[in-house]
């Protein structure tokens, strides 16, 4: 398994995975609107040039996931916009493999002490995946988003990097 930087050539595949507005909100928050367009992604990348998009590929060289490593003014990376593409591929451990690839990329690129992510409190499969990867809840830290006139709470999770084992 491997990561590759996202390029516009991947857009059609990513777009095929985003089947409705609720799924787009669940993995991308309020940054993008349904239907997803290449221009939305381009505008986002122009607005946040330090953020990096990745595609994950399996051993047969098929893309199976999309995600982002977010680093802005501080050197503490945050994983975001995590999506195992095909619905039929979810629940098979690919998310855990993808998260571990992103953790390794963060360690290699940023040498952080901590890595963060946000997860909606009702997204139990994602929470279980992140816990298996070693993420824990960061106290009561949370963020409230509004989608289609409903408030949804995202919880903050953190991963403590043991630099001695890197």
- pLDDT-derived band at 133 (thresholds 50, 70, 90) equals very high
What CATH number is associated with residue 76? 3.40.630.30
DSSP states of 74-94: SS--EEEEEEESSGGGTTSSH
Q: What is the pLDDT of residues 6-39, one digit of tens each?
A: 999 999 999 999 999 999 999 999 899 999 999 9
Mean predicted lDDT score pLDDT of the chain: 93
Count: domains in the chain: 1
pTM here is 0.93
Tell me which residue range forms the domain holding 51: 2-165
CA dist., res. 99 & res. 127, Å (int): 12
What is the C-alpha to C-alpha distance for residues 132 and 147, in angstroms, rounded to an integer?
28
């Amino acid at each position: 398994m491997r990561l590759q930087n996202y390029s516009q050539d991947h857009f059609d595949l990513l777009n095929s995975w985003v089947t409705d507005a609720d799924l787009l909100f669940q993995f991308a928050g309020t940054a993008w609107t349904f239907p997803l367009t290449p221009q939305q992604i381009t505008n986002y990348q122009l607005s946040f040039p330090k953020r990096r998009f990745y595609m994950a590929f399996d051993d047969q060289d098929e893309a199976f996931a999309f995600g982002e490593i977010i680093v802005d003014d501080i050197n503490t990376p945050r994983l975001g916009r995590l999506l195992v593409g095909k619905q039929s591929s979810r629940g098979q451990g690919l998310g855990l493999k993808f998260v571990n690839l992103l953790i390794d990329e963060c360690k290699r690129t940023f040498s952080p002490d901590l890595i963060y992510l946000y997860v909606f409190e009702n997204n139990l499969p994602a929470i279980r995946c992140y816990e298996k990867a070693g993420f824990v809840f960061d106290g009561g830290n949370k963020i409230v988003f509004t989608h289609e006139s409903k408030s949804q709470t995202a919880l903050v999770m953190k991963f403590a990097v043991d630099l001695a084992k890197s």
